[in-house]
Structure 1
Amino acid sequence: MNLAEHYDKLYTDSVTKIASGDYETDPLINDETDKRFGITLVIRPDLATNAQIQQFLTEVKAIEPDQYFYQNSDIHITLMSIISCYTGFDLKDIHMQDYVSLIQEVLTKQKTFKIQFKGLTASPSCILVQGFLTETLNEIRDDLRKVFKNSALQQSIDKRYAIQTAHATIVRFNNPLRNPAVLVSLMEKYRDFDFGTFEVKQIELVYNDWYQRERFVQKLHVFSTEQG
C-alpha cells in the first residue's frame, strides 16, 4: 500500500462530505452503557508529539467545542486488534499469559523503530493524524497474523479489515458541526504539518473499550522493543 496515496484519497473524499454536511456523528461515544470491549496492541506517541497534536486540538475546540477530543492518555496507534471489541467479551474468558507469550515471541525478533506523524487525514466521522511507518511495523503485524492463525487462541485479527496504516484518531464527531467550512479550512492549514517523529520503545497490550478511553483501559502487559 502507498500510504501517502491512501491518506490523500481518504482526506479528499472525507473533507468533501464534511464541508457539504454529509458527515457522520457517533451516538455511542458518551454512552456509559456501551459494553463493547476487546484486547489490542497499541503504540503511544511521545510527549513532544502529543503536545503538537494538542496545539491543533486547541484550535479545533475554538471552532467546534461540542465534539469529542482525545486527551494525551487516549491517543494511540493500533498496532493490531487481537480481539475486536464486542459486547460480552470478558478477560475471564481467556488465558492472558498465552497471549503475552505469543506476542513476546514475535517482538523479541524486532528492535526499536520510528513512526512519523505528519499531516492530517479524515473519515466522515473523525479527524486523524497521518502516521508513516517503517517496514519493521509491517513485519511485526505479519508475524502476529501467522502465530495467531496457527494457535487455538480466541482472536479476530483482520476480521473487520487488514490493518496497514499507523494513523491516530484525535477528534470524533459526536454532535452537529457548527461551521464545517471553517473546520475544513483549519484542517487544510495542518494538512502537511509535521507533528513529530518518535521512537517506539514499548508496545502495550490493553483491555479496552471501543474508543480507548483511559478510564476503561486496563494495561495487561508492556513489551519492550529494546531487547531485540
Structure 2
Amino acid sequence: MNLPEHYDTLYRTSIEKIRSGQYQLDPLIDSAEDDRMGLTLLLRPDKQTKQQIQAFLSELRAIDPAQYYYPDSDIHVTVMSIIPCYSGFELGQISVPDYVELIRKSIPAHSRIEISFKGITASPSCVMVQGFLSDNTLNHLRDNLRANFRDSDLEQSIDKRYAIQTAHATVARFRAPLRDTEAYLRVLEKYRNHDFSTFTVDTLELVHNDWYQREQFVQRLHRFNLG
C-alpha cells in the first residue's frame, strides 16, 4: 500500500463530505446500552507525541466542544483487531493464555517498531493522525498473526471488516452536528502535514476493550516487551 497516497485520498474525499454535511454522527458513543466488546493487540504513542496530539485537539475543542476527543489514556494504534467488538463477547468465552502464547510466538525476534506521526487525515465519521512506519516490522508481525491464527482453533475474526495496513490513531469522532464547519476544517488543514513526533515502540498490549478503547472499559490482559 502507498500510505501517503492512501491517506491523501481519504482526506480529500472525506473533507468534501464533511463540508457538504454528509459526515456521520456516532449514535452509540454516549449510549449506556452499548455492550460491544472485543480483543485487540495495540500499541501506544509516547508522552511527547500525545502532548502534540492534545495541542491539536485543543484547537478543535475550542471551535466545537461537542465532538468526542480522545484523552491521552485512550490514544492508540491498532496492531490487530483479533476479535472485533460485538455485543455479548466476554472473556469467559476464550482462553487468554492461549492467545498470549500465540501472539508471543508471532512477534519477530529482536523486533523494533518506529512510527512517525505526521499529518492528519479524516473519514466521514472521525479525525485521525497519520502514522508512517520506518520499516516492515509491524507488517511482518501482522502477517505472522494472520498465519498463526488461521492455523489455530482460537476464536478470531481478523480482517473480517478490512485488512489493516496502516498505523493511524483515531483522535476525534463526530457525535453532534458541527457548529462551524469551515472553522473546523481550517484547523484540520492547518495540521494536514504537522509533525507530531516520531516514537519507538517497546511494548505491545493485549486488551479486552470496548469500541472506543475507553480506559474505564479496557482490561489489559498482557504486555509484550519488544527489542
Per the normalisation by structure 1, the TM-score is 0.98
The 2-side partners of 1:108 and 1:96 are apart by: 21
**For 1:163, what is the secondary structure of its paired residue?**
coil
The 2-side partners of 1:128 and 1:146 are apart by: 28
The 1-side partners of 2:170 and 2:13 are apart by: 17
The 1-side partners of 2:142 and 2:71 are apart by: 26
The 1-side partners of 2:193 and 2:50 are apart by: 16
Is the contact made by 1:100 and 1:221 (CA closer than 8 Å) also made in structure 2? yes
The 2-side partners of 1:115 and 1:220 are apart by: 24
Q: Does 1:17 align with 2:14?
A: no
Match of 1:92 in 2: 92
Match of 1:111 in 2: 111
The 1-side partners of 2:29 and 2:148 are apart by: 33
* Distance 1:145-1:110 versus aligned 2 partners, 3 A rule: farther
The equivalences for 1:198-213 within 5 A come to: 198-213=199-214
Match of 1:189 in 2: 190
Structure 2: runs of 5+ lacking an equivalent: none
* Distance 1:142-1:165 versus aligned 2 partners, 3 A rule: same
Is the contact made by 1:110 and 1:136 (CA closer than 8 Å) also made in structure 2? no
CA deviation vs aligned residue, 1:42-84 (integer Å, no higher than 9, x gap): 1100000000000000000010110000000000000000001
Match of 1:72 in 2: 72
**For 1:73, what is the secondary structure of its paired residue?**
helix
Letter in 1 for 2:221: L
Match of 1:47 in 2: 47
Match of 1:132 in 2: 132
Count residues in correspondence. Answer: 226
Is the contact made by 2:119 and 2:193 (CA closer than 8 Å) also made in structure 1? yes
Match of 1:221 in 2: 222
Structure 1: runs of 5+ lacking an equivalent: none
Is the contact made by 1:26 and 1:172 (CA closer than 8 Å) also made in structure 2? yes
* Distance 1:147-1:110 versus aligned 2 partners, 3 A rule: farther
* Fraction of identical pairs, as percent: 58
Match of 2:177 in 1: 176
Match of 1:4 in 2: 4
CA deviation vs aligned residue, 1:125-169 (integer Å, no higher than 9, x gap): 100000012310000000000000000000000011000000000
The 1-side partners of 2:108 and 2:123 are apart by: 35
**For 1:220, what is the secondary structure of its paired residue?**
strand
**For 1:170, what is the secondary structure of its paired residue?**
strand
Q: Which moved more, 1:144-153 or 1:106-115?
A: 106-115
The alpha-carbon deviation at position 109 of structure 1 amounts to 2.3
Per the normalisation by structure 2, the TM-score is 0.98
The alpha-carbon deviation at position 112 of structure 1 amounts to 1.6
Is the contact made by 2:107 and 2:144 (CA closer than 8 Å) also made in structure 1? no
CA deviation vs aligned residue, 1:99-131 (integer Å, no higher than 9, x gap): 000000011524122001000000001000000
Is the contact made by 2:108 and 2:137 (CA closer than 8 Å) also made in structure 1? no
The 2-side partners of 1:53 and 1:214 are apart by: 18
Match of 1:144 in 2: 145
**For 2:23, what is the secondary structure of its paired residue?**
coil
Q: Which moved more, 1:210-219 or 1:106-115?
A: 106-115
Q: Does 1:154 align with 2:155?
A: yes
